[in-house]
Amino acid sequence: MRIEELDTPAAIVELDRLEANISRFQRYLDEHGIANRPHIKTHKIPEIAHMQLRAGAVGITCQKIGEAEVMAQAGIGDIFLPYNIIGERKLERLMRLAHRVNLSMTADSEFTLRGLAAAAQREGLELETLVEFDSGLGRCGVQTPQEAADLARLIARSPGLRFGGLMTYPSNQNTDPFVAAARSLLAGDGLVIERVSGGSTPGMWQAHTHPEVNEHRAGMYIYGDRYTIKNGAMKLEECSFKVITTVVSRPTADRGILDGGSKTFSSDLLGLEGYGLILEYPEAVIYGQSEEHGHVDFSQCARKPEIGERVTVVPNHCCVVSNLFNQVAGVRDGKVEVIWPVAARGALQ
């Protein structure tokens, strides 16, 4: 099957670029002795996860149990789930996973830790658990090294748990001082922080500037998108993930309508102008969206498209776009080499 035969909107991955992105970043982390633990939330495709592992990743990162379940079913043996898992039913599912794979977890509260500990102890497991801290994003995570040390001590004395280290997102200028402070607080207890897991794709090439961080979690680096380009982490010609759409209407001289809207591209703007970059018409702006229509202003384009023309869009944010597709086509030299189900899409959290 040729790429032209894919029904639009079609999510595609250029395999040459995908492979290059995987190996380039792996090489960089290898050179700096940083463990690579890619976040599969971006692609949710087991075969791509295996490609990352074959290239040298130490394991993968998942953001919900459902993703981890799909990856475990696909034979992946080392999974990090940096999410506060809460509630009996989820803990049951988690324990089933922990019996099958080398699972590590995080928590940022005593509440979450006690749940993990009780479940793991019941199952006779010892679950590697890291303390999540807030490096400034303002999401989850303890706020001070003192709180981190307190939770580390609680993990260390909880049967069922084993203290693994610290985790944050993203790695930034606050990360190293925080880790260093927690390290000295714990030294007196004989507690060693072995693993420090940081991450982000925008900051992927600065991973080596954080000496305290010995593991990096990046997701988008395999695909790339307008946001990653804006942040300087990738170039347009490195982006492997695109959406092919069709111009289905040209109601006025300047307006064109694509067969992809907010159920294709999501509504993520991330500070960018428009909902994606049309490669064939870089001056065009996808200024609005309905659920299945993209509203495009072609007024700045010297040539304007015909109805029926196919155009290629680099999305703003690849993670949420791939999550809206049931399948992604892997292409090379215009040929469809593989059609991957986005296997972990919509999986239970």
To a second copy, the closest distance from the beta carbon of 295 in angstroms equals 6
For a second copy, which is the closer residue by CB, 55 or 320? 320
- CA dist 163 and 343 (Å) reads 32
To a second copy, the closest distance from the beta carbon of 326 in angstroms equals 4
For a second copy, which is the closer residue by CB, 55 or 118? 118
For a second copy, which is the closer residue by CB, 33 or 138? 138
Residue whose C-alpha is closest to residue 82's, from 134, 43, 147, 157: 134
Tokens of 322: 């791939």
Cα–chain center distance at 276:
19
For a second copy, which is the closer residue by CB, 2 or 54? 2
Let me know: does 342 contact 45? Beta carbons within 8 Å. Answer: yes
Half-sphere exposure of 281 (CA within 13 A, CB side): 27
Cross-strand partners of 295? 257, 288
For a second copy, which is the closer residue by CB, 126 or 292? 292
To a second copy, the closest distance from the beta carbon of 115 in angstroms equals 8
Residues forming contacts to a second copy in the complex (CB under 8 A) are 5, 7-9, 41, 63-64, 83-84, 86-87, 89-90, 108-109, 111-112, 134, 138-143, 246, 248-252, 255, 257, 259-260, 262-263, 266-269, 288, 290-293, 295, 306-308, 319-320, 323-326, 345-349
- CA dist 85 and 35 (Å) reads 24
To a second copy, the closest distance from the beta carbon of 268 in angstroms equals 5
For a second copy, which is the closer residue by CB, 252 or 300? 252
To a second copy, the closest distance from the beta carbon of 181 in angstroms equals 17
DSSP letter string over 309-332?
-EEEEEES-HHHHHTT-SEEEEEE
- CA dist 104 and 161 (Å) reads 10
To a second copy, the closest distance from the beta carbon of 31 in angstroms equals 30
